[in-house]
Amino acid sequence: MAKINFGGTLENVVTREEFPLEKAREVLKNEVVAVIGYGVQGPGQSLNLKDNGINVIIGQRKDSKTWQKAIADGWVPGKDLFEIEEAAEKATIIQFLLSDAGQIAVWPTLKKYLTAGKALYFSHGFGVTYKEQTGIVPPADVDVILVAPKGSGTSLRRLFVAGKGLNSSYAIFQDATGKAYQRVVALGIAVGSGYLFETDFKKEVYSDLTGERGILMGAIAGAFEAQFNVLRKNGHSPSEAFNETVEELTQSLMPLIAENGMDWMYANTSVTAQRGALDWRHKFRKALEPVYDELYESVKTGEEARIVIEKGSKLDYRASLEAELTELRNSELWLTGAQVRKLRP
C-alpha cells in the first residue's frame, strides 16, 4: 500500500506495480469465487476474473434472462454456471453482485451458506450500510469486503479487453480471518482495476448515491435539459441547441478534460470562452451547493435508500420505469440526439 498525495491529502492506494496480477493469482489460488448475479457488474467482473486465471463460477436463477446471457458469454451449466444455492455452497468467496433489491430478496437464502472462513464481497455498500432497512447483517466469522469499480460493468470489461483498467475503491467491513486485506486487494486487481483507493462501506455508498443523483446522471441530465430549453425558447434550432449543449461537451471537451484537466481546458480556449467560464462557474457552484447539501443529507439519513427499496419492490415498478424512460426518450432533446448520432461520420 502506497501513500499518494491527492490535492494535499495523503491517501492509501494500491497499484498494479505494487500488487501485480501474479501476486493476486497466488493469493486466490485456493479460492473458489462465486459471482452471484449476472446483471450490471456480474458479467464484467466474472469474465475478467476468468480471463485472469481465477477459479470463478456463476450463481444465477435458471429461469432468468441472465442465465441465458451467461451461457451466451461462455459459461457452461454444471461446470461453472449453477443455481444460486449450489454456487454459494461451492464458494469460498461469494461476490454478492445482485441489484440492491435483489440482494434483499436473496439474502435469507444466501446467508446460510456463509460458513466460517468464507468471504462476502460487495461492489456497493448499500445492503450493509442500510441494514435496518435491508436486513443484511453478515455473520461475525466471515470476511466482509468491497471492491467498487468507478463505472459500469460494461466499461470495466471494455477497458480490460483494451488492456486498460477502471479505478476502484476498496473497503474492509469485517476481517474475521486475518486475510481480508489480501483477499480484497487481490480481487480488486483481478477484476481489472486500474488502481485501488481505500474507503469504507458508508463512504462508498454515500458518495455513490450522491454521484448518481448528482453530476453523473441526475444533475447533468437536468443541466442538459435547462440549457437546451433556454436555447430553444430563444429561437435556436434543435440541432444547434443539442450541439451546443451535449455534442460539444461529450465529443470534444470531456475527453480533453479527462486527459489534461479543467485548468488545461481553460488555458486552451478563446479569451471569450475563458472569461465567461471563469466568471459563471462561481454562480453555478453557489446555486448548486445547497442542492447537493440537501441531496447528501437525504443519502446520509437513509431517505434515498427508503425510496429505492419502496419503489423498487412494487410489482408495477418496471412498467412505471419504462413510462418514465419513454418520456425521456421522446423528448425533443433526446430525439434530436438520436438524429445527431446517426449523422456522426
C-alpha–C-alpha distance, residues 206 and 332, integer Å = 33
DSSP designation for 80? T
> What cell numbers appear for 332 in the block?
425533443
**Which listed residue (50, 124, 183, 213) is catalytic?**
124
Helix (H, G, I), strand (E, B) or coil at 44: helix
C-alpha–C-alpha distance, residues 59 and 89, integer Å = 10
C-alpha–C-alpha distance, residues 48 and 56, integer Å = 10
> In the block, which residue shows the cell 497466488?
26
> What cell numbers appear for 232 in the block?
430553444
DSSP designation for 247? I
> What cell numbers appear for 27 in the block?
493469493
Contacts of 318 (CB under 8 A, 6+ apart): none
124 included as an active-site residue:
yes
What type of residue sits at position 176?
A: A
Tell me how far CA of residue 15 lies from CA of 93, 145, 195, in angstroms.
22, 18, 5
Which residues are known to be catalytic? 124
